[in-house]
Structure formats: structure tokens, C-alpha cells
Chain A
Amino acid sequence: MSMLELRQVSKSYGEGANEVDAISDIDLVVERGSLVAIMGPSGSGKSTLLTIAGSLEEPTTGEVSIDGTRLSGMSRNDKARLRRRSVGYVFQDFNLLAGLTAVENVSLPLELDGLSMKKARVKGMDALERLGLGERANSYPDQLSGGERQRVAIARAVVGERSLLLADEPSGALDSVNGESVMRMILSACHGGVAAVVVTHDAKLASWADRVVFLRDGKAVDETLPPPTPEELLNPEVPDPTQ
């Protein structure tokens, strides 16, 4: 079953003559275990698409479903609960809380969701250890390097049972080696069953995805073809770029 489904989703801001379409008629299905990248220039609607996919904003028209649950008609509280349980966000500037240690940052969403502090910490440690940060669990964000902070942010995004990871330029502030390791971590989360959507203008990052969707002026204008099958790899032909 698909983890995220957007059907004919549009979002406009302003009214009348000042109305601006941020995104129009977007169809997007992301299966569990798959990584989709959204590429496009600034102002193409990438971030709007991500906030709507994560139910942080309402679409003007269209339908969004997360893990088979349609968001339209849900109460604010129900949406917030769904977000806490199923959706993890990774932002360019990490968004870690400075007064909390790495493990406290990671386990906070679980505690907010009603899990006991002790149980939340166990799950938080587990997520940090999976990302090779077990030894840094009690460090505060300002004691961590940029790469480590982003790993904490990814751990927070996939902690517990969360199975939809939404990332907005997740390696924007990092050098290329750390940027690559961020994508490796997201991919490894996908191999564990998480569905991920990464918004980026960087083709090197997007190329880690199973599928790249190109956004232009709020519309999905194109996408990459699926990777070649084993049979096609054994009989390579010069790819036809017009197909």
C-alpha cells in the first residue's frame, strides 16, 4: 500500500486578482520503501508540496492520504496525532532544540505522543545507534558537528514507528561528503520500509532517489523513468532520451 498519496492537489494563496497558485494538480504516490526526489528551481512549489504532504498545510483542492488515511475531514488533533506517529521531517537547518541533548531531541516526539520518558529514551537511543551516534546521545546540539546534527535530525524523523520521512534540502548546509551520508541514511531508512520524499535543487542528491519528479511553476512537468530491469542491464542499448 502506498504510504503517501496526493491526488490532484492544488494550493493557492491570496484572493481574486492577487491569487497565486503555489502548486497545481499534483498527483504523487510514494510507496513504502521508496525514495522520491522532487527537483525544481526556487519558487517552483517544492516546499509547499512538502508541507501539504506532511499535513502542515491544507491543500486548496485535492486529496492527501497518509498510510491509507485521508486527511480531509480529520480534526486538527487527529492530524497532529497522525503527524507525530507517522511523519518525520528533516529540514536544511536541522531544527534541533538547543536546550535538549541529542537523545532528548530524538525521543521528544514520542513523549509528546504519550509514551513514557523511559520507553521514549530507549527508542531514541535505538534510532541514534542505527545512525552511528550512540556515543553522542548526551551531547547538546552546539557540541555536535553539522553532519552529526543532521544525523540527529534524521534519527528524530524515523524514531519509533514513523514511516513517512519528508526532507527539505536535507544537506543544504553540509559539505558534499556529509551530504552524501545524509542521503545514504535516508536510503537506508527506506530499505527498512520508510517512504521518503526529498525536496532538493541538487541533482547529486536527487540521484540517490528511485524516482525524480521535476517541478516547474507549481506543476509536475516530468519524471525519470524507472531503473533498467536486470534483462535490460544484460542487453544494454543506448538510452533514448526522448522516451
Chain B
Amino acid sequence: MSIRHSLLALLSEGPKYGFQLRQEFESSTGEVWPLNVGQVYTTLQRLERDGLAQSDDVEDDERQKNYRITESGGEELTRWLRTPPDLSEPPRDELVIKVLVASRLPDVDVYDVIQVHRRYIVQLMQQWTRMKEDESHFDLAFALAVDAELYRLDSVIRWLDSADGRLRRAASEPKPEITVVRSNLPRRNGVRR
């Protein structure tokens, strides 16, 4: 997640102090992604170095510095918001690899492996769901962030269910016989006369 662009977004609302930015960042992400104050100041210094933000030079103390977004900072923010993240390459998913490995090993019950992961993920989903159970603490940003995590975990469960079904179907079908494709065999040279 881009702290850099999230801070630019907060600065686009008006000038702010570093400490204030940290608080607003955390509340805008539903406090799902905590941020340490060091990360905020380092990022602000880089934004300033790159000409995307400006600070009042009155104080040396970072906490007293007031930051504002520059014109090129605004342009950078607009560009970032409209640039899709790169999802073209599938991530190297450890869970997928574990199931693929388990499916090849004769002494391992792949369905049992799938169930171990399924249960663990449902338990994680229960923990996230409990967080949004109490509507008195309802916060739109928090609900959106929790939903994103629930949908991500749900997609893993769906994949596990589909892998489970596909493996069972494959196991119940007779294995195709290996047939030698004659046309691929090297031909003998010459014809007996």
C-alpha cells in the first residue's frame, strides 16, 4: 500500500502537521493499517525532496512543520489514483503451491491438507467478521477495509473448494491410457523391396 500517495491525498485536503497526518491516515484506513510516526516523517521528507510537497521552514522540529501539497504533487496523486495496480502476473501463492505439492505425494491426504487450510481461513474470517459485528463502532472506512480482507479470504476458500472438487473428480475418473502416437515415432529409412 502506498503511504506516499495516501499522505498526498490527505494533504490535498489542506496543509497538515506530521502527527496529524499519521492520525488521519490511520482513521482513513479504518485503523486496519497502523503506521509509525517515523514512516510518516521519512515519507514527508521524500515527498518534499521530489517536489510533491512543501513544508514551512520556520522550525527544525519535524512535529512543528506544516506540510502542503504542490501542484506536481496534485498531478501525481491524480495519476496514481487512475493507474491500475499491476495484477497481470499471478502472485507466488504459498497455499497454492502447498496444495499442488500435496496432490502429487502418494502418502499425503490432499483433502486433509485442504481442510486444514480451509478451517484456518474460516477462523480468520470469523475474527474479521467479529470486528464489524458491533455496529456502534461502525465506521465506513473500517467496514470497507474489513470487507476487502473478507473478500480476499473468501476467494481463497472458493479456490480450495474448487480444488477439492476438481481433485475428487479427477480421482474418480479412470486415468487415460498412455497411447503411443505412431506418427511421432521415428520412421525407418528405406523400404524393403
* B119→A203 contact, CB < 8 A: no
Q: A225 contacts which chain B residues (CB < 8 A)?
A: 123
Stretch of B25-33, B53-61, B150-158 contacting A (4+ beta carbons < 8 Å): B150-158
Bound together, the chains give a CA A202 to CA B125 distance in angstroms of: 11
Known contacts A203-B154, A204-B125, A241 near B130 by CB under 8 Å: no
The smallest C-beta distance from B188 to any residue of chain A, in angstroms, reads 54
Closest to B126 in A: A207
Number of interface residues of A (CB under 8 A): 24
Q: B164 contacts which chain A residues (CB < 8 A)?
A: 41
Bound together, the chains give a CA A239 to CA B153 distance in angstroms of: 16
Q: A222 contacts which chain B residues (CB < 8 A)?
A: 115, 119
Bound together, the chains give a CA A177 to CA B42 distance in angstroms of: 39
Q: B121 contacts which chain A residues (CB < 8 A)?
A: 203
B22 at the binding interface (Cβ < 8 Å):
no
Type the 1/0 row for B12-47, where 1 means its CB is closer than 8 Å to any CB of A: 000000000000000000000000000000000000
Bound together, the chains give a CA A221 to CA B114 distance in angstroms of: 12
- Count of A-B contacts judged by CB separation below 8 Å: 59
The smallest C-beta distance from B7 to any residue of chain A, in angstroms, reads 28
A128 at the binding interface (Cβ < 8 Å):
no
Instruction: List A residues 193-218 near B (Cβ within 8 Å).
Output: 201-204, 206-209, 212, 214, 216
- Give chain B's interface residues, CB within 8 Å of chain A: 111, 115-123, 125-130, 133, 135, 150-151, 153-154, 157-158, 161, 164-165
* A227→B129 contact, CB < 8 A: no
* A224→B116 contact, CB < 8 A: no
Known contacts A41-B165, A187-B133, A207 near B120 by CB under 8 Å: no
The smallest C-beta distance from A84 to any residue of chain B, in angstroms, reads 31
Q: B119 contacts which chain A residues (CB < 8 A)?
A: 212, 214, 222-224, 241
* Given A201-B161, A227-B126, A241-B120, 13 more pairs with CB closer than 8 A: A41-B165, A187-B133, A203-B121, A203-B122, A203-B125, A203-B153, A204-B150, A207-B126, A212-B119, A222-B115, A223-B119, A227-B127, A239-B123
Bound together, the chains give a CA A48 to CA B118 distance in angstroms of: 23
